[in-house]
A and B are shown apart, each in its own frame.
Chain A
């Protein structure tokens, strides 16, 4: 256990023996009643100690309440899908899309101390406008509710409806429009949050850690030091994989008072994009994960799917494919089911180890911070290269208007943004990117969010420097964009070039430093007493 937190456990233990304390006091009084001075002196020590303890017990003995709900957020078909460069229209549902919601509340003597709402969504990203609409719905249903405590994240499935405006040339007729989906989504999520809030009851929580080989670092490095996303590894020029892989599976379990598992938060550093090329609605690997866990534990289990920092990770195999595929075939599993098998094994393995270490009187502290991060600046060379590329793309579309479906995003967002940012830089020399982060302490663990597709190294630095026993890093709790490391920028290619990044390594380091600072503040004793 974390040394910094051991005092909490100690206090809780002492609080469990009030009768022993009273007995000792009684014996002291009886023994010393004939010695008035000594009696007075000694009597004051336990009384003083008890009053000190009671202050601390009050500071830590909060009761946890948990409420959950799950809601179907599958859009009306046909619908345009988000995630690829080209336009895709889905006309069928492979699996339903869900949002899973868990509301946590800590109370002291029936007084609300802290609230947190987790909303995990089967979407590609969480645009700010979408979150705003959800907050407004919650505000209408639960007036006075602190909507700032809503943490909404996307699993990054590439087979969910388009939620980013002006990215794809979506037909104006016979296809669900973005604003209609926003409205549908906000109403459903708002009601589901209310349902979770209304259903909250005293519960228990614990956490644990296991590993699963799910995410592969997807950037191959070559002899000339260049890097490539999904680059070939079976060629002589291949020199290695660019960065680290985070294969931790962090699990957070919640039980109700009857001992039924009602929710599990699972952080896997791998975006849910195994079937990213499909033309159908699909929750990717989270669907079989949920089915499997619900079959084992509870048919209504809330499964909060969190994606750990994984800007440079994906479920696609980068090497050793023959061996992996052979095993999958021997197991008669689809690739999605194979991924789910590994995650479920890790979660169940963790569950078996930690299930008896449940807590109800934990600290719940939820802090948010609006950060200003320096944006990655566009160089003149990059600007000119984008201008050239845009001309080429426009010529292609002019020659074949149907090519617009394939090229519009590249033209308008990918290259077009470079032009717009460069022009903006002339007015605003040091543009900043506003990023909201959440840091939530639950007992000995912490959950910290960021809005990016954050490269793994940043998350490793946060985990290494965090005072928490376990640190759940949750990416894409916001609108996204890759945040690459310095070595990735040097290597180049998609995900580490100006077109892919609003924020660069300088901002990444700042994000790490400020997140760690905020986390570690929650382990500061005086801070804890203040917030309680």
Chain B
């Protein structure tokens, strides 16, 4: 009898303590993480200029929608609240103008959010709407942004497409709406994280036997020597969960810009479109997916080696779908690789959800060395600019005299390209003047700590080697680098400058190896600081 009673008491005690412990997890609001998600279609419904190439491309339709996806995180510890809203946009880059406009609009509605708590990054799709002047113009004539920020000043002619300022307003409204919705949607939740791999980004610089490098091009040639640098195939994953342990979203961070269909005339989010579909198909249609591009200035999704073999695999995987460079087959193949990485990790992180991880956010405007332009570079650039200008004037004259030329489809390609290249060369002189006054370039960087992972942003197309330096030295278990959280240029390495390919020449780079290394050091310093807390 006594034994029976003892067992009964023990049983009810276990049940009681189990319920208490469960209840604690659900209702402990004094120390809790809140997570909210939202996503919006940010595709304009009128023709726009598609951003990503030197020449203008007036959109001729929509292949798939471009979107903005926001993840709002709030960590409450007693009375203190730390928060951040991450927004990933299917755009080529994020200008300061767009970032500031979004921050202003969001903080006007949500005064509890500080502007610097809003972080935007671009997936670098080359098929998204253009909402600002080209990079060389906005960076090098910052005092004259408003005068240069339109289609005519950028491309030299009028085009029947949404004006940049209108597109900027349209994007600001939609991206802000996404951020606000994410913030309002936040609920108690947790995070888990993991590391997978996917061979998506390929180093796109090839070196010849002579030591000279080139971006892309045929590697099937006798004087091909090697691929210039390293490749980063890691896929860093941050999963979010509601308090019933249902997955709500995933941040997918990999070192590859979204630019398979980069020459197309249709609006598209590029491979992230197929990737979202594939991941949702496997995990759930309600899932939110926030893409980030890790340091990948010298990587792209284009195949450099074994093209025939990989194309054959595309044909066998997706019969009837086009294959090869710029194809939907390649986009689908990438989607499968990324989805495989996500699902191979998800299962193992499910049981490691952290409901109240350490949460820290630091933002700083740092100054890093500019890549200094030599007077010879200026003289060469000015010579080039004159040649481009002559060509442009001639083309403009031809078009004015022969208006029927405009009846030809995509008549504007050459003239817009010529104008852009002229501006690119002129920008070198402006940089030369600027470096005398301001030899260091101010940039905004963010570092987040969420539990044992770090997330660090930069505005550039940052070469992989710098990413490796940060990842190798970071105290975090996983380090998510987020490039193009701004509109910065390529940051090449010394070996790349020796090779001299596009991406490493002065006209393509505001910052050189010196600044690149300083950025790595500053990022690591901030990561160390959030780790010391």
Contacts and interface: CB of A to CB of B under 8 A. Distances in A.
A464 B477 CA distance: 36
Interface stretch (A128-136, A232-240, A388-396): A232-240
A204 interface: no
Interface string A145-180: 000000000000000000000000000000000000
B29 interface: no
A253 B477 CA distance: 39
A213 B197 CA distance: 7
Contacts of A402: none
Contacts of A1: 308, 312, 315
Contacts of A481: none
Contact of A2 (B308, B349, B469): B308
Contacts of A322: 476-478
- Of A330, A342, A465, A485, most buried by chain B (CB within 10 Å of CB) is A330
A465 B225 CA distance: 10
A470 B477 CA distance: 37
B227 interface: yes
A110 to B, nearest CB: 32
Contacts of B312: 1, 208-209, 469-470
Interface in B456-514: 464-465, 468-469, 471-473, 476-479, 493-495
A240 B468 contact: yes
Given A320-B234, A327-B194, A464-B219, A238 B227 contact: no
Contacts of B440: none
A330 B226 contact: no
Nearest to A213: B197
Given A353-B313, A354-B316, A469-B312, A461 B199 contact: no
A465 B305 CA distance: 9
Contact of B469 (A239, A356, A468): A239
Nearest to B306: A463
Contact of A319 (B197, B225, B472): B472
Given A320-B472, A354-B316, A470-B309, A213 B224 contact: no
Contacts of A469: 308-309, 312
Contacts of B399: none
Interface string B298-312: 000000111011101
B50 to A, nearest CB: 31
A347 interface: no
Interface stretch (A66-74, A243-251, A360-368): A243-251
A245 B224 CA distance: 17
B203 interface: yes
A468 B306 CA distance: 9
A461 B229 CA distance: 14
A380 interface: no
B373 interface: no
A217 interface: yes
B310 A209 contact: yes
A233 B231 contact: no
A interface, size bucket: 35 or more
Interface string B205-248: 00001000000000111101111011101101000000000000
A355 to B, nearest CB: 9
Nearest to A206: B316
Given A461-B226, A469-B309, A240 B233 contact: no
Contact of A471 (B234, B306, B471, B472): B306
Interface in A329-367: 330-331, 342, 345, 349-350, 353-354, 356-357
Contacts of B308: 1-2, 468-470
B195 A326 contact: yes
Contacts of B199: 211, 213, 247
Interface in A488-532: 509, 513
Given A320-B195, A353-B316, A460 B226 contact: yes
A330 B316 contact: no
B345 interface: yes
Contact of B477 (A234, A326, A468): A326
Contact of A236 (B317, B473, B495): B473
A143 interface: no
A241 interface: yes
A144 interface: no
Contact of B230 (A208, A209, A245, A463): A245
Contacts of A318: 472
A212 B340 CA distance: 12
B317 A353 contact: yes
B321 interface: no
Interface in B176-208: 194-199, 203
B170 interface: no
B305 A238 contact: no
Interface string B407-429: 00000000000000000000000
B469 A209 contact: no
Contact of B471 (A236, A244, A320): A320
Contacts of B400: none
Contacts of A16: none
B18 interface: no
Interface in B379-415: none
Nearest to B476: A322
Nearest to A517: B222
Nearest to B318: A353
Nearest to A329: B348
Contacts of B226: 243-244, 457, 460-461, 485
Given A461-B225, A463-B306, A327 B195 contact: yes
A457 B477 contact: no
A457 B219 CA distance: 12
B224 A465 contact: yes
B473 A463 contact: no
B316 A233 contact: no
A457 B310 contact: no
Contacts of A217: 230
A234 B472 CA distance: 5
Given A240-B468, A330-B348, A460-B305, 5 more contacts: A209-B310, A212-B197, A234-B473, A238-B468, A323-B236
Report, nearest first, the 3 A-B pairs whose CB atoms are least far apart.
A240-B465, A211-B199, A233-B472
10 contacts: A208-B313, A233-B472, A239-B465, A240-B229, A240-B230, A250-B309, A323-B234, A345-B344, A353-B313, A357-B316
